[in-house]
Amino acid sequence: MVDTKAYNLISARLSARHVSLVAVSKTKPTEDIQALYALGQRDFGENYVQELVTKQPQLPSDIRWHFIGHLQRNKVRFIVPFVHLIHGIDSQRLLVTLDKEAARAGRRIDCLLQVHIASEETKFGMDINEINDLMNSTHGGKSLPNVRVRGLMGMASFSDDTELVRREFRSLKSLFDTVKASFFSGDEDFSVLSMGMSADHETAIQEGSNMVRIGSLLFGAR
Ligand SMILES: *Cc1c(COP(=O)(O)O)cnc(C)c1O
Among 20, 21, 117, 197, the mutation site with the greatest number of ligand 1 atoms within 8 A of its Cβ is 197
Tens-place pLDDT, residues 28-45: 999 999 999 999 999 999
Q: Which helix (H) or strand (E) holds 212?
A: strand 211-214
Task: Establish whether residue 24 lines the binding site of ligand 1, counting it when its CB lies within 6 angstroms of any ligand atom.
Answer: yes
Task: Establish whether residue 112 lines the binding site of ligand 1, counting it when its CB lies within 6 angstroms of any ligand atom.
Answer: no
Mean pLDDT of 5-18: 97
Among 217, 174, 186, smallest CA distance to 199 is for 217
At residue 52, does pLDDT exceed 80? yes
Task: Establish whether residue 210 lines the binding site of ligand 1, counting it when its CB lies within 6 angstroms of any ligand atom.
Answer: no
Q: For residue 131, how far is its CA from the centre of ligand 1 (angstroms)?
A: 23
Task: Establish whether residue 198 lines the binding site of ligand 1, counting it when its CB lies within 6 angstroms of any ligand atom.
Answer: yes
Q: How confident is the model at residue 121 (pLDDT cuts 50, 70, 90)?
A: confident
Q: Are 114 and 87 in contact (CB under 8 A)?
A: yes
Burial, 136: exposed, middle or buried (Cβ in 10 Å; 0-12, 13-18, 19+)? exposed
Q: How confident is the model at residue 119 (pLDDT cuts 50, 70, 90)?
A: confident
Task: Establish whether residue 48 lines the binding site of ligand 1, counting it when its CB lies within 6 angstroms of any ligand atom.
Answer: no
Among 169, 83, 74, smallest CA distance to 119 is for 169
SS3 at position 67: strand
Tens-place pLDDT, residues 150-161: 999 999 999 999
Q: Are 131 and 105 in contact (CB under 8 A)?
A: no
> Looking at ligand 1, which residue's alpha carbon is closest to its atom 7?
198
> Looking at ligand 1, which residue's alpha carbon is closest to its atom 6?
215
Q: For residue 41, how far is its CA from the centre of ligand 1 (angstroms)?
A: 17
pLDDT recorded at residue 123:
67
Spatial distance between the Cα atoms of 206 and 58, rounded to a whole number of angstroms: 36
Whole-prediction pTM: 0.97
- Name all contacts of 56-63 with Cβ < 8 Å and 24+ positions apart: 56/82, 58/30, 59/30, 59/33, 59/34, 63/33, 63/37
Tens-place pLDDT, residues 150-199: 999 999 999 999 999 999 999 999 999 999 999 998 888 999 999 999 99
Homologous superfamily (CATH) for 4-217: Alanine racemase (3.20.20.10)
For residue 219, the ligand 1 atom closest to its alpha carbon is 8
At residue 69, does pLDDT exceed 90? yes
Q: How confident is the model at residue 210 (pLDDT cuts 50, 70, 90)?
A: very high
Q: For residue 47, how far is its CA from the centre of ligand 1 (angstroms)?
A: 9
Q: Phi first, then psi: give them for residue 154, nearest 5 degrees.
A: -155, 160
Kindly report the average pLDDT of the chain as a whole number: 96
Mean pLDDT of 84-88: 97
Q: How confident is the model at residue 1 (pLDDT cuts 50, 70, 90)?
A: confident
What's the distance, Cα to Cα, between the start and end of the chain in Å?
10
Q: For residue 26, how far is its CA from the centre of ligand 1 (angstroms)?
A: 9
pLDDT more than 90, % of the chain: 92
What are the DSSP E strand ranges found in 116-205? 147-154, 192-195
For residue 217, the ligand 1 atom closest to its alpha carbon is 9
Among 78, 15, 1, smallest CA distance to 43 is for 15
> Looking at ligand 1, which residue's alpha carbon is closest to its atom 13?
68
